[in-house]
Amino acid sequence: ETNHRLIGFGRYAGIVGAYNGFRAFGIKFDLFNLPKAETLADKAALVERLRRPLLPPIKIVLTGHGKVGMGAKEILDAMKIKQVSIEDYLTKNFATPVYTQIDVLDYNKRKDGQKLDNQDFYHNPQDYVSDFERFTKVSDIFMAGHFYGNGAPVILTREMLNAPDNKIKVVADISCDVEGPIACTLRASTIAEPIYGYYPSENKEVDVNHPGAIVVMAVDNLPCELPKDASEGFGEMFLQHVIPAFYNNDKDGILQRAKITEGGKLTERFSYLQDYVDGK
């Protein structure tokens, strides 16, 4: 009824995406070589591996407060990385790794300078431009866990990445919107080959070891790297939110809203799929 998804794998995408971001950082700077997430048993094993390397005093900016963003936050917190305010993140230096978690109005601003609320952004994205550049000047890793809606501004532009004062060297694009809000996400990567290099001055893919490369992690099926946890989590959510509907006469309309076809035709809610049915 509220248009919020009852079941999803976003949390696990965030968990694996954050792990992969640190793995990419270790490879980029030849600091450590974490095993692939798919070779480890569960989240606990990921965290145990992440606690081994000694990280330099890097700064990590995380976008998104939904399931994906909060999944990534779980990893950062499990690693005991300190969360700091946006102001401190932008203005202070730290002796240990820190991160800040930002929302849409932290990295977008109205063109006319007005300061309104999130709802205004959701309803009028065309009136906004990116305000993310202030984070590119101080961040080492960008973990993208936001939801990107149609018409919203590009968050991280090629110009930002190509600027002489850009510090970002690793982009873990967990949301993975190709040709979307993150300029360096030229394509989705794979579990087999999860990272590639992006050369901003030429806007092209290069080897991750290229000296001018920004390393991009843009796997679009991240929960598959944590199958046990993701399957158990999905099952728990299904038991909690869906199974009761079979026994309470679907009083909340969960099954009705989930019904894709009825009587050999698409239901109204899924009528947007008609072109696929017609083979167009």
Domains in the chain with CATH codes = 10-227 (3.40.50.720), 250-280 (no CATH)
What pLDDT is recorded for position 214? 97
pLDDT (tens digit, 9 = 90+) per residue, 3-43?
677 888 899 999 999 999 999 999 999 999 999 999 999 99
Q: How sure is the predictor about 272, in pLDDT bands with cuts at 50, 70 and 90? A: very high
Alpha helices for the chain (secondary structure H) = 10-28, 43-50, 67-78, 86-91, 104-107, 118-123, 133-136, 158-162, 227-241, 254-258, 274-277
pLDDT in tens, 202-213: 999 999 999 999
58-112 per-position pLDDT tens digit: 999 999 999 999 999 999 999 999 999 999 999 999 999 999 999 999 999 999 9
Instruction: Extract the tokens encoding 76.
Output: 């950062």
Structure tokens that stand for 24 in this block: 């990419």
Q: Between residues 3 and 194, which one has the greater pLDDT?
A: 194
Mean pLDDT of 158-169: 97
Please check whether residue 195 is in contact with residue 217, taking contact to mean a CB–CB distance below 8 angstroms.
Answer: yes
Phi first, then psi: give them for residue 103, nearest 5 degrees. -110, 180
User: At 58, is the secondary structure helix, strand, or coil?
Assistant: coil
Taken as a whole, the chain contains a residue count of 280
